[in-house]
Amino acid sequence: MRGLNTQDALRRQAQEPTTFIIDETFGVPGVGTVVAGTLKGGVITTGASLLLGPDLADGSFKPTAIKSIAYKRLTVHKARGCSARRA
């Protein structure tokens, strides 16, 4: 029964809005802009398109492509948010 609850929680998490708190940005030659931070909710996958914002100047959100994801210097293809909500 516990496994079913885990699968249900993962399904719900995948439906949450993606919320990524950016702590740091930096440029990497040959790669582009890299962001570091905490994924608070939802799921991010390599190749996904997300909206970045709001822009402080005009409040707009810009489409952004996820080229790669790393966790503790290891390449991963999917990241799940650290939401503390329980089933």
* CATH label of the domain that carries residue 37: 2.40.30.10
53 to 4, 23, 27, 62: CA distances (angstroms): 36, 14, 18, 6
- Counting the structural domains of the chain, the total is 1
Among residues 18, 14, 12, the alpha carbon closest in space to that of 52 is found at 18
Q: Is residue 85 part of a domain?
A: no
Residue 67: inside a domain? yes
Q: What is the mean pLDDT of the chain?
A: 84
pLDDT of residue 55: 92
41 touches 34 (CB < 8 A): no
Q: Report pLDDT digits (tens) over 22-63.
A: 999 999 999 889 999 999 888 999 999 999 999 999 999 999
Q: How far apart are CA 74 and CA 70, in angstroms?
A: 5
